[in-house]
Amino acid sequence: MNERPAGTDIDTLSINTIRTLSMDAIQKANSGHPGAPMGLAPAAYVLWTRFLKHNPKNPAWYDRDRFVLSGGHASMLLYSLLYLTGYDLTLDDIKKFRQWGSKTPGHPEFGHTRGVETTTGPLGQGFTNAVGMAMAERHLAALFNCPGHDIINHYSYVMCGDGDMMEGITSEAASLAGHLGLSKLICLYDDNDISIEGSTDITFTEDVSVRFQSYNWQTITVEDGNDLDEITNAINAAIQETQKPTLIRVRTHIAYGSPNKQDSADAHGAPLGEEEIKLTKECLGCLPDEQFCVPDGVLDHCRGLTQKGAEAEEKWNAVFDSFKNQFPELAKQWTEMMKGSYIEGWESKIPDFSSNDGPIATRSASGAVLNAVAESIPSLIGGSADLAPSNKTIINASTDFQKNNYGGRNIRFGVREHAMAGILNGMSLHKGLRPFGGTFLVFADYMRPSIRLAALMKQPVIYVFTHDSVAVGEDGPTHQPVEHLAALRTIPNLTVIRPCDATETAAAWRQAIKTTDSPVALILSRQKLPVIDRKQYPAADLLANGAYILADTDAKPDVILIATGSEIHICLEAKAALLDKGVAARVVSMPSWELFDKMPQNYKDSILPPDVKARVAVEAGLPMGWEQYTGDSGTVIGISTFGASAPGGTVLKNFGFTAENIVNTTLAVLGR
Ligand SMILES: Cc1ncc(C[n+]2csc(CCOP(=O)(O)OP(=O)(O)O)c2C)c(N)n1
C-alpha cells in the first residue's frame, strides 16, 4: 500500500521517504548509519530538487553540477536520492543495501553505482575531491568558455559532517579553496553536534564558521535544518557569491523524528531497531507498518523536478553545437581532452637522452620530459606541495593557477600534501584533465589515504616522488625514505616505477601517460645518475614490461642481480668485478614490480629463469617483498633501519651499496 498520509504536503512526504527508505534499508541489512540521512534529508532534498543541475538519464554529462557526499557513511541518503530522482537504481537495489554484488554498497563507490561522483567513507576525502572538482571546472572554463558559449559552468556541492570538519585534510583543502576564491564550491555542513563517541562537546568545540571565514569563505548558518525556505535562501546566497566559496552550516538533528534516538550517538552507526522505526514513522506521520514505502506521487514529483536538468542538458547541447561551428579548433580540443586523448605525435616529443649528455638526476630528466610533452598534452596540470624547484614539476611554458588566472597549469598546492592528493583525485574524477603532483618520496605517507582512493577508483593520477633514497644525504633520516617503496607497493592497483636513469625516466613517463586505469607513482633520484648508453644496452622502453635484462652473460648466468633506480649502476659495476672472479652475472633492471607481475609467465621465466636460483636484489629501501623474486636461495641488499645524516655517497657506502659488497654478497650466495 502506497497511500499518501492525509494532510502531508509533497515536499514533506518526499523528505520523509528519504528518511524511511534509509531506516528500512539499514534495518534490513542490519548494518549502516541511519542518523545522518534522517537529519540531512531536507537539505539534500532542497539541493537535489531545486538547485542541482543534473540529468539522471545521463549522469556523465560534462557540465552537470557535481555532488559529493563526503560523509560516505550516510550512503543511504545518496542512494535514496538517486532512486527518487530517477537514476539507474531500483527499490530492489535499495532493499539489497550492503549485500554482495549489490549496487548499494556500504559506502558510495565510484564506478560502481551510476551517479556516484566519488568514493567516500574515509572522512575529509570527499570534501577535498570537491575542491579538486571545483578547480578542474574553473581551469576548463578558462580554457574553453567563449562569449555566449559557457561550455563548462557548474557548481561543485559537497555535504559533510563533523567528522569531515575535524579531519586535517579538510582544513588544508578549505584553506587552498579560499585562497583560490573558488566561488562555485558550496559546502553544506551537517552541524548536528554528534559523532560516534557522543556529543561533539567532548572533542570539537571550535567555531567552524569563524575558521572558514579566516580561510576566505562566505559562511551562512541555517538555524533550522528542517526549514526548506531557510535552506533555499542559503543556497541562493551561496550562488550569488562570486568571489569566495561558501560554507552553509546547517543545524540539524541526527535521526530526526526518532523519539528515543534523535540527538543521540546511538543513531549514528546502527539500525534504529524495528520498534523504534515504527515509533519514528508514527512521529513523522508515515505509515508505521509499511516498509520501503514510497507514497503515491513522490516518485513522479521528484523525477518531474529533475526534468529541468534534462532540459538544461539539451540547451547545453545546442550551445555546444554552435561552439563547434564558431570555434572548431577549441571544440576539437575539448572533445579530445574529455575523451582523455592527446595531440597526435605526443610520444615523439619525449626527449632521447644520451650518455654523452653526462650524468643527470632522474628528477631532472622527469622535469625535462614533462616540459617536452606539456604542449601536446594540454590536459596535464599539476604542481607540487611547495617543492616544485626540487621536484621539477613546473611547466615552464605555462603560468600559475591562481584566482585571477585559472587557466594556469602550475598549481601551487602549498605545504598541503594530503589535500594535494585528494584534489588530484577530484580533478581526475571531474574528467578532462591528467593531474600530477609532486613531493619528496618520504612525504608520500602524508598522501597515502588519497593515493589509496585513487587506486581504488582507478584514477590515473601521476605522482612525482623525488629524493628517493638515503642518497638524499645530509638532510638525514627524517628526509630519507626507507620503507616508502615497500609501503607504496602494498597498495593494490598502484603502479610504482623507479627508473634507473634518464632514458628509463622518459619511458616511465610514457608508461604513466598511457596508463588510464591506475595511478602511477614515479620514484626519482635527487642525485645525478649516469645515462645508460642505449646503443650498447637494450632499449629503455622495455621498462613497459616491468623488468628486462639490461646486461647479460654469454651462457647461462651464475647469478642474477636485480635492481631498481640508482642501484642499477652499482650492479653494472659489480657485474664487471664478478666477471674478473669468474662469475657470470645477469643484471635485470626491474623498475616496476606491478608491470612485471602482469607479464605472462614465459616472459617472467625468461628474465628470471627458474633454474637460476642464485639471485641478489639490490634496492636502497626496505627489503620486504623482494624475496618473491630472489627466492629461498637468494638474498636482498636493502635497508632495514632508518638512514643517517651525512653526504649521500657516504650514507650509501655505509649501508653497503657498493659494488664490492654486491660482489661479496654474491659470492656468499654462490657458496664460494
Ligand atoms: C578517516 C576516517 N576516520 C574514521 C572514520 C570512522 N567514522 C565514520 S563516521 C565517524 C563519525 C563522523 O561523525 P559525523 O561526521 O558527525 O557524522 P554523524 O554522526 O553526524 O553521522 C567516524 C569516526 C572514517 N570513516 N574515516
Distance 196 CA to ligand 1 centre (A): 7
Is the CB of 72 inside a 6 Å radius of any atom of ligand 1?
A: no
Is the CB of 195 inside a 6 Å radius of any atom of ligand 1?
A: yes
Strands 194-195 and 198-199: antiparallel
Residue 492 near residue 455, CB atoms below 8 Å: yes
Active site residues: 417
* Mean pLDDT of the 148-177 span: 98
* Mean pLDDT of the 441-452 span: 98
> Left (φ > 0), alpha (ψ -120 to 50) or beta: where does 233 sit?
alpha
Question: Which ligand 1 atom is at minimum distance from the Cα of 124?
Answer: 1
β-sheet bridge partners, residue 457 = none
Terminal Cα distance for the chain, rounded: 85
* Mean pLDDT of the 322-341 span: 96
Is the CB of 190 inside a 6 Å radius of any atom of ligand 1?
A: yes
**Helical H segments across 245-361, by residue range:** 274-284, 298-305, 307-326, 328-339
Return the percentage of the chain with pLDDT > 90, whole number: 98
Is the CB of 35 inside a 6 Å radius of any atom of ligand 1?
A: yes
Q: pLDDT band at 1, cuts 50/70/90?
A: very low
Q: pLDDT band at 5, cuts 50/70/90?
A: low
pLDDT value, residue 78: 98
* Mean pLDDT of the 575-602 span: 98
pLDDT value, residue 8: 79
**Which residue has the CA at smallest separation from atom 21 of ligand 1?**
36
Distance 214 CA to ligand 1 centre (A): 25
Residue 430 near residue 66, CB atoms below 8 Å: yes
**Each residue's pLDDT tens digit, 231-279:** 999 999 999 999 999 999 999 999 999 999 999 999 999 999 999 999 9
Is the CB of 564 inside a 6 Å radius of any atom of ligand 1?
A: no
Question: Which ligand 1 atom is at minimum distance from the Cα of 166?
Answer: 15
* Mean pLDDT of the 489-502 span: 98
Nearest of 612, 624, 620 to residue 586 by alpha carbon: 612
Give the integer Cα–Cα distance in Å for 578 and 524. Answer: 28
Q: pLDDT band at 426, cuts 50/70/90?
A: very high
Strands 185-191 and 156-161: parallel
**Each residue's pLDDT tens digit, 385-414:** 999 999 999 999 999 999 999 999 999 999
**Which residue has the CA at smallest separation from atom 25 of ligand 1?**
122
Give the integer Cα–Cα distance in Å for 321 and 333. Answer: 14
Alpha-carbon distance values, 644 to 54, 465, 474, 639 (Å): 55, 20, 8, 11
Is the pLDDT confidence value at 222 over 90? yes
Q: What is the DSSP string of 166-235?
A: HSHHHHHHHHHHHHTT-TTEEEEEEE-SEETTEEGGGT--S-HHHHHHHTT-EEEEES-TT-HHHHHHHH
Q: What is the DSSP string of 47-99?
A: IIIII----TT-TT-TTSPEEEESSGGGHHHHHHHHHHHTSS--HHHHHTTT-
Q: pLDDT band at 67, cuts 50/70/90?
A: very high
Please give the mean pLDDT across all residues of the chain. 97
DSSP state of 3: P
Question: What are the grid coordinates assigned to 401, written together?
Answer: 593557477
